[in-house]
Chain A
Amino acid sequence: MDVQRLKESFARVAMHGDAVPLFFYSDLFLRHPETRDLFPVSMAAQRDRLVHALARIVADVDNLDDLAVYLKGLGRDHRKFGTVAEHYPAVGTSLLATLAHFNGPDWTPELAADWKAAYGLVAQVMIAAADEDAGTRPSFWDATVLAHELRRFDIATFRLATTEPLAYLPGQSVSVESPERPRIWRFYSMANAPRDDLTMDFHVRMIDGGALSMVLTRGLAAGARLRVGPPVGALTYAPGSPRDVLLIAGSTGLAPLKAIVEQISGLAAPRQVHLFFGARTADGLYDLADLEKMADGYPWLTVVPAVSDDPGFRGERGQLPEVVARHGSWRQHDAYVAGPTPMVEATVAQLTALGVPPSQIHTEDFGWSEP
């Protein structure tokens, strides 16, 4: 396999931009109409994803160790989309047809053979990882909503029960799909430690124009069906740590940190825990009543609510990083930060400035900013 020739031909094709994945998916859907159902109505985001994945694979084609890790993850991830081994040859045929089309007169039998071999390897690694994963867990979990509560016009909490057990660590998240928005998956953190009754709690913040968050905040009721994917995320607490714990939550970033508080409450000797919960206005502290109840019951837990844009609030006022800095230096703590992107970035910068070692700072960026 001539790696350089492969890369050059991909660069020639990539020059055509969005026309390339557009051709690929049309070719795939014409040859195998049944595959259309695996994708959402709008394919715009999907096309970007395909191009990025292809670019990533081609760039790393001579760095097989890294590539294998990436491909295995990709293979496992594709299970929840309904991808099965039979789909891989179909994708391969359409990929080669697309490359042939855009390479034009430069498409030689040697180049075709190189691509065929490369795709064969990619598919083999992905299928093997998917098969291995299939031996240990379902591709997705069916779930039913048990209760849904609108806490503010744009913040809701809901509880669901999965039909099969789903093992996860407190602080992790799962991707969620609703039949109201088929094939659109978004990640949400569990707000509780694992329970025996297979129920899980979620906190959702409505993103303006957000495809799924609008359904989950305002369009959900008890009895609604959802699907959830396998748990992911590294915002997890190691019970053996000799340090006290600092939890900093912005808005619904509270969910994974509340799960960690629950986890610590089950330990024989809980460390001291400080939980800072911040929002723009007091009505954004949607779960404060429950947190205060927990603080009353757990002598090791201190809850500090903080509000940034509400002069009438009778508690800590200011941006979360400032408020946290006012309460200590936290150098001897394990810090966990979750919430909107600007809040997570500013808080990490503040903690670093206070001298908290990076190895003690754990974050989960929710990928949006407060309107």
Chain B
Amino acid sequence: MTVMPRNDGRLTPDQVQSVTFPTARLGRRGYDEEHVRAFCAHVERELVTLLNEKAALWEEVQRLRQRIMGHSDDLPGYRPEDAHIQAVRVLSNAQQTADRYVADAQLYSRQLAEDARRRRDEVLSEAHRYAERVLEEAHGTATRAAEAALTGPVSLTAGERRELTAELAYLRTFSDVYRTHLRAYLEALLRNVEEWERAEKSSIAAARADLPFLPADRLP
């Protein structure tokens, strides 16, 4: 772990945010990256909270000290500066809440996209393997049929002819069945993709509907 030393050794949220962990050696399991990241985010939030609290306490001390030393003429109530600092604090808290919502939404969208990508790769490689298997089997059958035709006697008895005709018919059916299978499989995949896109579109529409405060000219 590397932390740039700064500010007489005090740890700041900025430092926690930019900390880097060395990658685990080959063949050894390192820390889970997600966990390390989540932990850093937690530490950062904690530090910000602590520092804000500290600043608030420090101000309170200053105010009380001034009052004791008799600097304050208007004894009860707030001075305008106090009111401004209060307002700054309220706005800062609101901004931090908004930042957290955006960060959470971004994380969620990243995870969704990663999952979708992984799923897509799986589906594609499965389809690939399936298509290869179909091709291989069809090829094998065709080769066997061709060999049988070549090595077979030149003049065929009626029985042999019947047998070959039957085999030919079988092969035709066989190829039809495989083609139907393959088509059904590919169509199912296509439906999957279409459903996915429909879901995406409707969720985007729903998300927009939930945001009535967006000015109309910002919608496409």
Q: Is B88's beta carbon under 8 Å from chain A?
A: yes
In the complex the two chains form, what is the Cα distance from A241 to B111 in whole Å? 47
- Contact in complex: B48, A17 (CB < 8 Å): yes
Chain A residues near B12: list those with CB within 8 A. 14-18
Q: Is A6 an interface residue (CB 8 A)?
A: no
Give the tally of cross-chain contacts (CB within 8 A): 100
User: Quick check: A153 and B120 within 8 Å, CB to CB?
Assistant: yes
Residue on B nearest A94 in the bound complex, by CB: B88
Binds B, one of A24-32, A73-81, A232-240: A24-32
The answer to whether A371 touches B95, judged by C-beta atoms less than 8 angstroms apart, is no
B166-220, CB < 8 A from A? 200, 204, 217-218, 220
**A15 pairs with B113, CB closer than 8 A:** no
The reply to whether A22 and B96 contact each other, CB–CB distance below 8 Å, is yes
- Please pick, from B13, B88, B128, B204, the residue contacting A23 in the complex, using a CB distance under 8 A: B88
A11 to B7, CA, bound (A): 6
Cβ-based interface call for A147 (8 A):
no
Indicate the member of A26, A29, A30 with the most B CB atoms within 10 Å. A26
- B218, A17: Cβ atoms closer than 8 Å: no
Given A179-B217, A180-B220, A209-B109: A30 touches B7 (CB 8 Å cut-off): no
Within 8 Å of chain A (Cβ to Cβ): is B99? Answer: yes
Q: Is B92 part of the binding interface, using a Cβ–Cβ cutoff of 8 Å?
A: yes
Which A residues lie within 8 Å of B98 (CB)? 41-43
**B141 proximal to A (CB < 8 A):** no
CB nearest neighbor in B for A14: B7
Can you name the residue of chain B whose Cβ is closest to the Cβ of A51? B14
Q: What residues of chain A lie closer than 8 Å to B99, measured between beta carbons?
A: 42-44
Selected from B58, B107, B200, B218, the residue in CB contact (under 8 A) with A180 is B218
* Residues of chain B with a CB closer than 8 A to A42's CB: 98-99, 102-103
B113 near A104 with CB under 8 A, answer no
Question: A104-B62, A371-B117 given as contacts; is B220 within 8 A of A224 (CB)?
Answer: yes
Contact with A along B134-156 (1 / 0, CB 8 A): 00000000000000000000000
**11 new A-B contacts at CB < 8 Å, known A14-B12, A18-B13, A43-B99:** A11-B7, A17-B47, A26-B89, A26-B92, A41-B102, A42-B98, A42-B102, A44-B103, A208-B110, A219-B204, A221-B220
